Amino acid sequence: MPVPQPPTYDPQDETLVLTEHIYLFSRILLSNRQIFVQLMAASAPVLNQTEAVLYDSLLDKWWEKVTVCRFALSEQYG
């Protein structure tokens, strides 16, 4: 019987998951910002982080995606 191989790491998978997380948080925030604030507050102790760190991390990732999209558009349209 052949030995199963571990899945290969694909950086694209990480990017897709991150993108979906950004979309999810955006939808939550747009639908009800109080739920978003409660989610962040409840996540802080579970992740052993302060809320400020969580917000900073989320915004850093969001701006990173915006920058990549802007760069891609400028490359495509000059």
In a domain, 68, yes or no: yes
Q: Domain limits at 38?
A: 15-77
| Number of domains the chain is built from | 1
In a domain, 52, yes or no: yes
pLDDT of residue 45: 95
DSSP 20-78: HHHHHHHHHHHH-HHHHHHHHHHHHHHHT--HHHHHHHHHHHHHHHHHHHHHHHHHHH-
Look-up of token digits 């400028």: 74
In a domain, 8, yes or no: no
Stated pTM of the model = 0.67
pLDDT of residue 46: 94
Identify residue 24 by its one-letter amino acid code.
Answer: L
Residues in the chain: 78
Question: What's the average model confidence in pLDDT over 68-77?
Answer: 75
In a domain, 7, yes or no: no
Q: Could you give the count of Cα atoms lying within 13 Å of 15 in the half-sphere of its Cβ?
A: 7
In a domain, 1, yes or no: no
Each residue's pLDDT tens digit, 21-71: 888 988 999 999 999 999 999 999 999 999 999 999 888 888 887 787 777
In a domain, 6, yes or no: no
In a domain, 44, yes or no: yes
